[in-house]
Amino acid sequence: MRLLFLGDIVGSAGREAVIRSLPALRHELRLDYVVANGENCSGGKGLIPRHADALFAAGVDVITGGNHTFQHRELYPYLESTRGITRPLNYPPGVPGRGIAECGDLVVINLIGRAFMPADYDDPFRAVDAALASMSPNRFIVVDFHAEATSEKQAMGWHLDGRVTFVVGTHTHVPTADCRLLRHGTAYCTDAGMCGARDSVIGDDIQAVLTKFLTQMPTRLAPAEGPAVINGVLVEADDTTRRAVRIERVDREVG
């Protein structure tokens, strides 16, 4: 099994880069599955249904979410009706959508961290333990852990080592150089990065971000435009054991 995980898609620059590039990437990398974090896809915060549909049409199999999942109310019924889209599993009970998506023999679990995050979420470690306890065996399992703290992400990797195929971090939009196979066969990367404007501050307009830092005044942070980067992680897993055998970064510039 060969899977590509794409980091947070930011605004139109990232969305259009993925839509243009993904069909060729699926062929070049001989991909079985593509999972992408889409929580910044529409206007830099949140996701709307027509943009999700465009990603699915381009070849994304599962779209994951994060702290901006509920930015646009029009997504709420879509979360309930669409099998290939998730929001973090450990949101409090009663919110729309689901935290687990299945596609063929792939299961994707979406979690959100608590360290330095702006809301009080349920415990992601206990939430994923409960999910795995009730899950059918012999599946490829990918966990998108949308979290701020690198320590919390690394802790989740070790917590799930040997129990899932791949643990990948999202949210900070900066790709990390620590792709590795953990001791018991789980692939791990602290942050996949982003798909968004190359000349930006984590996908946002440079001048707007500088104004915010220099003045401390409320500033609208619009997504940047221009040439884009695609940050992702490729994982190959054994079809019998469902454990990872290879992991590497996939980073491209799209003019």
Residues in the chain: 255
Number of neighbours of residue 150 by Cβ within 10 angstroms: 15
What is the dihedral sign for C-alpha 93, 95, 100, 104? positive
Told to judge if 146 belongs to the known catalytic residues of this protein, a careful annotator would answer no
With residue 75 as reference, give the H or E element that holds it.
helix 75-81
DSSP, residue by residue, 112-141? E--TT-SS-PPPHHHHHHHHHHTSPSS-EE
Angle formed by the axes of helices 11-28 and 49-58, to 10°?
20
Q: Which of 51, 68, 171, 173 is catalytic?
A: 68
The catalytic residue positions are 68
